[in-house]
Chain A
Amino acid sequence: DAGITQSPRHKVTETGTPVTLRCHQTENHRYMYWYRQDPGHGLRLIHYSYGVKDTDKGEVSDGYSVSRSKTEDFLLTLESATSSQTSVYFCAISRTGTGYGEKLFFGSGTQLSVL
């Protein structure tokens, strides 16, 4: 197993509340990603990071922000959660990026329910 820990594993929250999901890695990989998985959509990239304090948007970034103050931690924040953000969230890491010949290693996921 790649050393990736996501917390919490499950969370139930109410609409309008802020939520922060944490991804911690012990691999010292440069690249970290947040994906969400929804039925019929597969995995969609929310945000990614290519180094400390270096982040960029993915396909579905609206309503989400991220921060990376240390190599090992990548935080995903929902500033004001909505029901459409109910999903399973996966963190992933890679050593050199996914431009070519590189694979991602995924965490076990966080099941988030927004009521």
Chain B
Amino acid sequence: DQQVKQNSPSLSVQEGRISILNCDYTNSMFDYFLWYKKYPAEGPTFLISISSIKDKNEDGRFTVFLNKSAKHLSLHIVPSQPGDSAVYFCAASRMDSSYKLIFGSGTRLLVRP
């Protein structure tokens, strides 16, 4: 039973356009969410996070939106660049479940020049 779901295994967008990656979760106790980016043959690297007390967090070209009522979060990349081509993982955690991040299955983003 996957608690964190990324239903789109892949996404292709044109350079300069917006990329929107989606993530759904089933556990309403999750209160902190993160996005990680992974290039081939490398480990995942932290990209951006959001706590449940917010509905939006921005960092440069990257914005994460959280809709708690829908148990949904999304990552927006504007404008998309070819170097953004990677696998993106959504992850969630709970304050009362320390030490454990639950990851989604990932979305492979391809940004076409």
Contacts and interface: CB of A to CB of B under 8 A. Distances in A.
Interface residues of A, number: 29
A104 B98 contact: no
Contacts of B31: 100
A107 B43 contact: yes
A34 interface: no
A42 B89 contact: yes
Contacts of A74: none
Contacts of A40: 9, 105
8 contacts: A48-B100, A58-B100, A90-B43, A98-B93, A98-B101, A99-B97, A101-B49, A103-B49
Given A43-B89, A108-B41, 20 more contacts: A48-B100, A90-B44, A92-B43, A97-B98, A98-B93, A98-B98, A98-B99, A98-B100, A98-B101, A99-B96, A99-B99, A100-B31, A100-B32, A100-B93, A101-B49, A104-B44, A106-B43, A106-B44, A108-B42, A108-B43
